């Protein structure tokens, strides 16, 4: 029987959600949906020292914004819960004990001071940071070196201990990765990782394997930074559940910034977002900008992440989620790191701004207007304006500058664009234009424009020379759609007012 595809995203709630994390979610999600499988989110919070208030909720908010809703999670429920590892503490102990009974793990009673001493005693120039491994373990205080009676006694008397995996010496650990193909490790280079901590909590290594098994995970896709942990996980699978039950692995390539792995520091330095949504670390108050608040559409964010390390084998770059589900295959994910390019990211967003009806994202722009106290009364008019300027926007936040003068007079005019060529004849033209506009009966683009052109001809001034001052009066700067369309849309009163104000400013 073919097992139902079940994939998981297993974040530790320790901070903001990096775009690499969202891409991991996305590839898992696409694979699950393509194969009519389940996408599970499991919270890996066994390291209580790294727990950060609010981080879990933030992760789910990000997934919601991205449209990557899990089928099972601590919030969505499901048959394999609890989905928070801290709530599964009692489950892991038996597996740690099983490993000890099998001779694949052992109790270690070394104190922090003894570990420190080991690190300095075994330090050599070739081995500057010695690990707790096959070369060292027989010289330490553990159940491999102490008599069984002593071990029992120490445990019974409440001595603090951890359980460590006993890494085999000189064994080649091999596994197949869907992206990297055949991968192998020399077991002697891996230390005897702690599996169960002194507080009774499992470490990530034990918990991830036990939970992937108990949750029926068939495919484990995660960032390449976990590749070095894979040998420990492969051995745990072998010792506990059998390699035949192990999920298929795929270690996703790193996302690269201007200087190696993309970090949140790169974002701050180069002015681009690195997290899905804004995040303020409650411990340090450090703020990291998010794609959402920067003005990205979730559709664009998903699209650009999909293309960071994968391609569909054709020239097509714009994909909807449905198309991605249709086209995605894990074998087409690249092996080498994918370079993040913010200009390209903005290009994706611009394409999506054009593609989606403005009605669908108008609420976001309206909230930006509200924040700036720019009044928006007429919803239909608002949509009309957004429609008119959308081709000029790469980010949703660009709409503020591109659209605000339709709702409020510019507070500053670009005088430098006008004054060098401003003279008495232009002043006179605008005084007259203003007067005639006031008595214009039909306020439409062609009447406003015809009047302008006729008057310019009468005054013997090229209309092209007058359009720039008019634009600066209405918009404040040298951008925007056709100037007569702007005048028509803001209405007679605002047009006349702004021309009068402009005349004052330019004629001082």
Active site includes 355? no
Q: Which is nearer to ligand GLU, 209 or 483 (CB)?
A: 209
Backbone angles phi, psi at 53, to 5 degrees: -55, 130
Gap between the Cα atoms of 135 and 490, Å rounded:
80
Residue 233 gets which letter from DSSP? H
Strand residues in 10-103 grouped as ranges (E): 38-41
Q: By CB under 6 A, name the one of 5, 208, 230, 394 that touches ligand GLU.
A: 208
CA gap 3, 361 in Å, rounded: 40
Given the complex with ligand GLU, which of 222 and 390 has the nearer CB atom?
Answer: 222
Task: Name the one range near ligand GLU by CB under 6 A: 9-17, 112-120, 295-303, 445-453.
Answer: 9-17
- Out of 51, 65, 122, 226, the only residue in the binding site for ligand GLU (CB under 6 A) is 226
CB of residue 25 vs ligand GLU: minimum separation in angstroms?
11
- Give the whole-angstrom CA distance, residue 404 versus residue 71: 41
Minimal distance in Å, beta carbon 208 to ligand GLU?
5
Binding of ligand GLU by 44 (CB under 6 A) = yes
Q: Which is nearer to ligand GLU, 27 or 328 (CB)?
A: 27
Backbone angles phi, psi at 43, to 5 degrees: -90, 120
DSSP 100-145: HHHTSEEEE---HHHHHHHHHHT--SS-SS--SSTTTGGGSSBTTT
Select the span of 8-16, 286-294, 300-308, 452-460 touching ligand GLU (CB under 6 A). Answer: 8-16
Residue 74 Cβ vs ligand GLU, minimum distance, rounded to whole Å: 14
Distance of CA 204 to the CA centre of its chain: 23
Residue tagged active-site, from 33, 166, 264, 294? 264
Nearer to ligand GLU, 54 or 410 (CB): 54
Binding-site size for ligand GLU (CB under 6 A) equals 8
Under the binding rule (CB under 6 A), the answer on residue 205 touching ligand GLU is: no
The span from the CA of 290 to the CA of 377, in Å, is 29
Task: List all residues 6 or more positions away from 215 whose beta carbon is below 8 Å from its beta carbon.
Answer: 6, 8, 40, 42, 80
Give the residue among 255, 259, 220, 256 at the shortest CA–CA distance from 237.
220
- DSSP class of residue 356? S
Looking up tokens 């409440």, which residue turns up? 158
466 lines the binding site for ligand GLU (CB under 6 A)? no
Per-residue b/e over 271-309, b at no fewer than 16 CB within 10 Å?
A: ebbbbbbbbebeeeeeebbbbbbbbbbbbbbbbbbbbbb
Min. distance of Cβ 24 from ligand GLU in angstroms? 7
Q: Considering the rule CB under 6 A, would residue 11 count as an interface residue with ligand GLU?
A: yes
User: From the list 6, 33, 137, 222, which residue makes contact with ligand GLU (rule: CB under 6 A)?
Assistant: 222
Q: Which of 92, 107, 175, 204 binds ligand GLU (CB under 6 A)?
A: 204
Please, which residue, 33 or 42, has the CB nearer to ligand GLU? Answer: 42
Q: How far is the CB of 170 from ligand GLU (least distance, A)?
A: 26
436: how many CB neighbours lie within 10 A of its CB?
12
* Binding of ligand GLU by 12 (CB under 6 A): yes
Residue nearest to ligand GLU (CB): 222
Q: Which is nearer to ligand GLU, 44 or 133 (CB)?
A: 44
Report the DSSP beta bridge partners of residue 194: 164
Measured from the CB of residue 282, what is the shortest distance to ligand GLU in angstroms? 19
**Within a 10 A sphere around the Cβ of 5, how many other Cβ atoms?**
19
Q: Report if residue 193 touches ligand GLU, rule: CB under 6 A.
A: no
**Which range in 10-18, 33-41, 266-274, 292-300 contacts ligand GLU by CB under 6 A?**
10-18
Our CB check for ligand GLU shows the closer of 204 and 506 to be: 204
110 close to 140: Cβ distance less than 8 angstroms = yes
Q: Under rule CB under 6 A, which residues in 72-111 are in contact with ligand GLU?
A: none
Where along the sequence are the contacts to ligand GLU (CB under 6 A)?
10-12, 44, 204, 208, 222, 226
User: What are the residue numbers of the active site?
Assistant: 264
């Amino acid at each position: 029987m073919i097992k139902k595809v079940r994939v998981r995203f297993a974040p530790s709630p320790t901070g903001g959600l990096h775009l690499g994390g969202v891409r991991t979610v996305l590839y898992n999600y696409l694979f699950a949906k393509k194969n009519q499988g389940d996408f599970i989110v499991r919270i890996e919070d066994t390291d209580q020292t790294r727990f950060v208030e609010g981080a879990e909720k933030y992760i789910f908010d990000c997934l919601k914004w991205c449209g990557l809703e899990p089928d099972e999670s601590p919030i969505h429920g499901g048959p394999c819960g609890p989905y928070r590892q801290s709530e599964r503490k009692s489950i892991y102990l038996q597996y740690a004990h099983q490993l000890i009974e099998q001779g694949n793990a052992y109790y270690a009673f070394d104190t922090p001071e003894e570990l420190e001493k080991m690190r300095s005693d075994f330090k050599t120039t070739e081995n500057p940071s010695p690990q707790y491994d096959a070369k060292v373990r027989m010289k330490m205080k553990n159940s491999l070196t102490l008599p069984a009676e002593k071990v029992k006694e120490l445990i019974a008397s409440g001595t603090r201990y951890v359980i460590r995996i006993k890494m085999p010496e000189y064994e080649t650990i091999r596994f197949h990765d869907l992206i990297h193909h055949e991968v192998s490790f020399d077991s002697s280079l891996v230390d005897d990782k702690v599996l169960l901590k002194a507080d009774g909590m499992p470490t990530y290594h034990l918990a991830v394997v036990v939970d992937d098994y108990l949750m029926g995970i068939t495919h484990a896709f995660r960032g390449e930074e976990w590749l070095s942990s894979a040998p420990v996980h492969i051995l745990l699978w072998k010792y506990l559940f059998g390699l035949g039950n192990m999920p298929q692995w795929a270690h996703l390539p790193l996302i690269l910034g201007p200087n190696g792995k993309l970090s949140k520091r790169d974002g701050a330095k180069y002015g681009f977002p690195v997290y899905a949504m804004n995040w303020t670390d409650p411990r340090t108050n450090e703020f990291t900008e998010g794609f959402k608040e920067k003005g990205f559409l979730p559709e664009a964010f998903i699209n650009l992440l999909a293309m960071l390390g994968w391609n569909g084998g054709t020239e097509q770059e714009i994909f909807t989620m449905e198309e991605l589900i249709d086209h995605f295959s894990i074998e087409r994910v690249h092996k080498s790191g994918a370079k993040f390019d913010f200009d390209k990211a903005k290009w994706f967003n611009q394409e999506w701004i054009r593609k989606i009806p403005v009605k669908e994202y108008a609420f976001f722009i309206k909230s930006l207007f509200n924040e700036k106290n720019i009044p928006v009364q007429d919803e239909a008019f608002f949509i009309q304006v957004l429609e008119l300027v959308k081709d000029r926007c790469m980010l949703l936040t660009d709409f503020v500058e591109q659209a605000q003068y339709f709702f409020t007079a510019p507070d500053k005019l670009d005088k430098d664009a006008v004054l060098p060529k401003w003279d008495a004849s232009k002043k006179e033209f605008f005084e007259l234009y203003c007067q005639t506009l006031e008595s214009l009966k039909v306020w439409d683009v062609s009447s406003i424009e015809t009047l302008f052109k006729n008057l310019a001809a009468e005054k013997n001034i090229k209309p092209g020379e007058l359009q720039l001052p008019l634009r600066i009066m209405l918009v404040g700067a040298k951008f925007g759609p056709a100037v007569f369309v702007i005048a028509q849309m803001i209405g007679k009163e605002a047009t006349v007012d702004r021309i009068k104000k402009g005349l004052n400013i330019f004629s001082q």
